[in-house]
Amino acid sequence: MDLISFIRNIPDFPVPGIIFRDITPMLANAAALNFAVEKMIEPFKEANIQKVAAVEARGFIFGSLAANKLGAGFVPIRKKGKLPFKTDTEIFSLEYGEAVIEAHVDAFNEGERILLIDDVLATGGTMAAACRLAERQKAVIVGISFLCELDFLNGKKMLPSNVHTVLHF
């Protein structure tokens, strides 16, 4: 299946000169969405993944479906102030300032084998912060999977090894 045919290019969004890769047509097509998730987890199917962690918001879509397919639990990694229980916080740099993500302090167990998922790998800062949260709780990061990667931003250099991406732009 040609997943790229389900991605709509929106020029000059959110600012002039940017081409936004809109995945909502893929999300609306059951076969394409299922195929995309299968491709995202393909290298990790036999890796004994115990939990899938994903960054909000679109990462939740792929992460929860991946967790279900892998028979694993799901961990939401959210923006600051969105989780109801005691959290572990990670601050990371953006192009213009800082951002904060959080996970519950009991999100991962020591030695637990996890897969981290998000929709797009751009600069890598958000996922690198998610990795630090998981590592601080002594989880074992088996892999990181993305639907799309913006290769020209070289975000993979910010991440540990075993990064898998389905589509490259």
pLDDT in tens, 64-75: 999 999 999 999
Measured distance between the N- and C-terminal CA atoms of the chain, rounded to whole angstroms: 17
Task: Give residue-wise pLDDT tens across range 82-140.
Answer: 999 999 999 998 767 889 999 999 999 999 999 999 999 999 999 999 999 999 999 99
Count of CB atoms within 10 A of residue 166's CB? 19
Catalytic (active-site) positions: 58, 95
Task: Supply the pTM of this predicted model.
Answer: 0.95
How do the residues of the chain divide into helix, strand and coil, expressed in percent and rounded to 5?
35, 35, 30
Rounded to 5 degrees, what angle do the CA atoms 75, 81, 87 make? 50
